[in-house]
Amino acid sequence: MTVVVRRFDYPRDVETLISFMPELYETNFPGFVATPEFLSRQRQRLREAARDPAQLVLVADGSRGPVGFIWLVLELDSRGRRRGEVAALYVHPAWRGKGVARKLMAEGEEYFRSWGCHTVHLMVTASNERAVGLYRSLGYTVTRYQMEKPLR
């Protein structure tokens, strides 16, 4: 089973990507519930991303349409240098463990390199072992912790 990576096409792909959002957010924010309002905001954000030259969404196409996607954002760091952010990464459960995310990450890094970015960063929830394992295996290291404690 091979996938082809291509640019996101809003009218053609938006509903498939929206169908991926509940699991993407619920995995990374335990207890999160993807309401219709939340999904409608995501639809709007995808529409904006498709028109924004600083953002690129790539989809991995299986035989019957998108099976995963990566959302890339070009930004400037505090010293005005270009850097890349992986804002979202998702692969459908039926396609996991086959290197699809690796392929999307490789394309993303290549895109950032082509824009002269000196680093690429991302946020991942510590309990998301699969994603943390993937990023570590690609050479990502921890640069900051976000900490919290429940208040009674």
Binding residues for ligand COA, per CB under 6 A? 23-24, 27-28, 89-91, 96-102, 124, 128-131, 133-134, 137
User: Smaller CB distance to ligand COA: residue 113 or 130?
Assistant: 130
Give yes or no for a contact between 85 and 94, defined as CB atoms under 8 angstroms apart.
Answer: no
Q: How far is the CB of 127 from ligand COA (least distance, A)?
A: 10
Burial class (CB in 10 A: 0-12, 13-18, 19+), 100: buried
Q: How far is the CB of 1 from ligand COA (least distance, A)?
A: 11
User: Smaller CB distance to ligand COA: residue 79 or 110?
Assistant: 110
User: Smaller CB distance to ligand COA: residue 24 or 72?
Assistant: 24
Nearest to ligand COA by Cβ — which residue? 133
